[in-house]
């Protein structure tokens, strides 16, 4: 049963706890963490240490059991040897971490290991010691990341997998040196000022077809333009013209060799805008927004905005990528908060269509439905993306298959079914003309799920 505290009591507790938390983070947290990291034994190591001490003193010295005395002394010596190897390696690696750094400005993708340029030399001559580190969130705006280490000769190369998209200005690495058996461990933290931009992982979205209305428009005839249109014009044959372009039926009737030539035309330049709605499960949808900007699906004169970022990007890819990265830090109250004003302002400026990126989770759709922008005449297309498109009805599996999936794969799947999207899409029929669902793992898409505009 969940205990619900009165609102007044929660406010009082929050006002009391806030200054205590600030004092703890500023004065005590770093020292306590440093002391805990310097303690050289793990829980397993402490248990073995107590076991060996009991064997040596209680049974070996007091009870004069020589067998347990020798066994306890041997175990204690092994534990001390492992402790010496761990301490020596920690000292060597600790000195080397002071000189190591992350070079330059980097772009990383979420969820996949990528090299950051950070490397350390291994202490190869010290046995039984293992070195690893992770990115941790130390409460100062850092981002956590899973780190995989690859060996490059005598160096350990960092391969980081950030957990979320953001702009990283400081990295806190937690280094840990332990023995092979996990009995001893020494850890410490190093802070480094960096400039990293974490963007959503594209997957196979680069292969998705452009949404309807996002591609270039029909060619318009212009007598002063270059001949780049369809071959609908004709002129008399000249030496060098390909024979496959000769109009043989005209030649049979008139005896004149005429060839097909391209029409002088220009392509209609469409102005498009895009808006990204954020949520905790918006990584695949943000990746679709990244691909749309990279492929130029918004036309020549485009504008992009996202939740949680006041700045808007106009015809500047780097600025748009920075907005996508910073939108990963948007709060729940920022969700679709600027959507209505964005659409009204863009329509008054003459933009012809808007590509609205909405994550597949229900909270994002409810936030969009709450906007008062349903009376827009600008063409709005909704695009949502997930890791995979799940079947509407999951077939029953046997006990063996269920057990294997439970053991080998995680439960939380980055997917959504079309039935769920259809249920949520009814709330935006007054705003959007078309709904497109894209699968990041394969790049395939399902479109025209809204039908006529509501």
Residue 403 predicted with pLDDT over 80: no
Q: What integer pLDDT is reported at residue 131 of this predicted model? A: 95
Instruction: Name which residue leads in pLDDT, 376 or 162.
Output: 162
Average pLDDT over residues 192-196: 90
Structure tokens at 309: 């970022």
pLDDT at 39: 93
| Contact of 223 with 309, CB cutoff 8 Å | no
> In DSSP terms, which residues pair with 306 in a beta bridge?
276
In sequence order, what are the beta bridge partners of 379?
A: 353
pLDDT score of 399:
64
Question: Per residue in 414-437, pLDDT tens?
Answer: 778 888 888 888 777 777 778 889
> Which pLDDT does position 396 carry in this prediction?
54
Residue 208 pLDDT exceeds 90: no
Task: For 85-125, write each residue's pLDDT tens digit.
Answer: 999 999 999 999 999 999 888 899 998 999 999 999 998 88
Question: Residue 235 — very low, low, confident or very high, per pLDDT cuts 50/70/90?
Answer: confident
Mean pLDDT for the chain overall: 83
pLDDT tens-digit series, residues 294-344? 988 887 789 999 999 999 999 899 999 999 999 998 988 889 888 988 988
Q: What is the pLDDT of residue 449?
A: 61
Q: How far is CA 387 from CA 114, 203, 441, in A?
A: 20, 9, 6
pLDDT score at 454: 34
Label each residue of the chain as H, E or C. Answer: CCCCCCHHHHHHHHHHHHHHHHHHHHHHHHHHHHHHHHCCECHHHHHHHHHHHHHHHHHHHHCCCHHHHHHHHHHHHHHHHHHHHHHHHHHHHHHHHCCCCCCCEEEEECCCCEEEEEEEECCCCCCCEEEEEEEECCCCCCCCEEEEEEEECCEEEEEEEECCCEEEEEEEEEEEEEECCCCEEEEEEEEEEEEEEEECCCCCHHHCCCCCCCCCCCEEECCCCCECCCCCEEEECCCCCCHHHECHHHHHHHCCCEEEECCEEEECCCEEEEEECCCCCCHHHHHHHHHHHHCCCCECCCEEEECCCCCCEECCHHHHHHHHHHHHHCCHHHCCCCHHHHHHHHHHCCCCEEEEECCCCHHHHHHHHCCCCCCCCCEEEEEEEECEEECCCCCCCCHHHHHHHHHHCCCCCCEEEHHHHHHHHHHHCCCCCEEEEEECCCCCEECCCCCCCC
Q: What percentage of the chain carries pLDDT values higher than 70?
A: 82
Query: Would you say residue 220 has pLDDT above 90?
Result: no
pLDDT at 293: 92
Q: Which of 189-193, 195-199, 269-273 has the lowest mean pLDDT?
A: 269-273
d(CA 298, CA 122): 49
User: Across the strands, what pairs with 185?
Assistant: 178
Among 425, 428, 281, which residue's Cα sits nearest to residue 368?
428
pLDDT in tens, 339-392: 988 988 988 888 888 899 999 988 899 888 887 554 467 788 889 999 888 887
**pLDDT, tens only, 30-88:** 788 888 899 999 999 999 999 999 999 888 888 888 888 899 999 999 999 999 999 99
Q: At what angle do helices 283-294 and 317-326 cross, to 10 degrees?
A: 180
* CATH number listed for the domain at residues 205-213+269-446: 3.40.50
pLDDT (0 to 100) of residue 275: 95
Q: Closest Cα partner for 203 from 110, 116, 318?
A: 110
**Domain parsing of the chain, residue ranges:** 31-199, 205-213+269-446, 219-267
Alpha-carbon torsion (54, 58, 60, 65), positive or negative = negative
The token duo for 136 is: 């941790």
Tell me what pLDDT residue 150 has. Answer: 93
Number of other residues whose CB lies within 10 A of the CB of residue 36:
9
- Between residues 328 and 401, the one the model is more confident about: 328
Structure tokens at 225: 């333009």
142: pLDDT strictly greater than 50: yes
Q: How confident is the model at residue 267 (pLDDT cuts 50, 70, 90)?
A: low
Instruction: Compute the distance between CA of residue 270 and CA of residue 351 in angstroms, rounded to an integer.
Output: 8
Q: Give the global pTM.
A: 0.76
Residue 451 has a pLDDT of 53
In this predicted structure, what is the pLDDT of residue 225? 47
* The predicted structure's pLDDT at residue 315: 86
Residue for token pair 């950051």: 116
**Nearest CA among 431, 415, 421, 432 for reference residue 362:** 421
Q: For residue 333, what are the contacts with CB-CB under 8 A and spacing of at least 6? A: none
* pLDDT for the residue 224: 43
Q: At 1, is the pLDDT very low, low, confident or very high (cuts 50, 70, 90)? A: very low
CA–CA separation, 89 vs 185, rounded Å? 11
């Amino acid at each position: 049963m969940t205990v619900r505290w009165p609102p007044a009591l929660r406010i009082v507790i929050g006002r009391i706890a806030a200054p205590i938390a600030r004092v703890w983070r500023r004065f005590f947290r770093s020292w306590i963490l440093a002391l805990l990291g310097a303690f050289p034994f793990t829980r397993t190591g402490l248990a073995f240490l107590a076991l060996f001490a009991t064997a040596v003193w209680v049974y070996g010295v007091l009870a004069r059991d020589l067998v347990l005395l020798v066994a306890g002394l041997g175990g204690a010596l092994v534990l001390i040897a492992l402790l010496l190897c761990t301490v020596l390696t920690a000292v060597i690696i600790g000195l080397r971490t002071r000189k190591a750094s992350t070079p330059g400005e980097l772009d990383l993708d979420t969820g996949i290991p990528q090299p950051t340029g950070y490397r350390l030399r291994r202490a190869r001559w010290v046995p039984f010691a293992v070195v690893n580190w992770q990115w941790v969130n130390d409460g100062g705006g850092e981002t956590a990341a899973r780190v995989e280490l690859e060996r490059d000769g005598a160096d350990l190369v960092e391969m980081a997998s950030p957990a979320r998209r953001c702009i990283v200005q400081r990295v806190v690495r937690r280094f840990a040196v332990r023995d092979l058996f996990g009995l001893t461990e020494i850890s410490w933290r190093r802070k480094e000022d960096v400039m990293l931009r974490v963007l959503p992982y594209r997957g196979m979205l680069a292969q998705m077809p452009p949404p309807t209305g996002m591609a270039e428009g029909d060619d318009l005839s212009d007598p002063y333009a270059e001949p780049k249109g369809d071959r609908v014009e004709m002129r008399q044959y000249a030496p060098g013209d390909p024979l496959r372009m000769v109009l043989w039926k005209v030649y049979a009737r008139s005896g004149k060799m005429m060839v097909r030539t391209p029409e002088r035309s220009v392509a209609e330049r469409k102005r498009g805008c895009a808006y990204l709605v954020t949520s905790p499960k918006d990584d695949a949808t943000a990746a679709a927004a990244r691909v749309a900007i990279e492929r130029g699906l918004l036309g020549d004169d485009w504008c992009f905005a996202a939740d949680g970022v006041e700045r808007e990007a106009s015809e500047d890819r780097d600025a748009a990528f920075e907005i996508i990265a910073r939108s990963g830090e948007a709060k729940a109250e920022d969700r679709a908060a600027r959507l209505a004003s964005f659409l009204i302002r863009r329509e008054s400026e003459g933009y012809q269509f808007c590509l609205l990126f909405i994550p597949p989770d229900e909270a994002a759709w409810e936030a969009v439905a709450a906007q008062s922008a349903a009376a827009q005449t600008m063409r709005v297309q909704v695009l949502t993306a997930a890791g995979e498109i799940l079947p509407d009805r999951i077939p029953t599996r046997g006990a063996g298959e269920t057990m294997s999936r439970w053991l080998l794969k995680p439960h939380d799947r980055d997917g959504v079914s079309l039935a769920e999207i259809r249920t949520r899409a009814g709330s935006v029929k007054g705003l959007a003309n078309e709904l497109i669902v894209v699968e990041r793992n394969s790049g395939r898409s399902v479109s025209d799920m809204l039908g006529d505009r509501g």
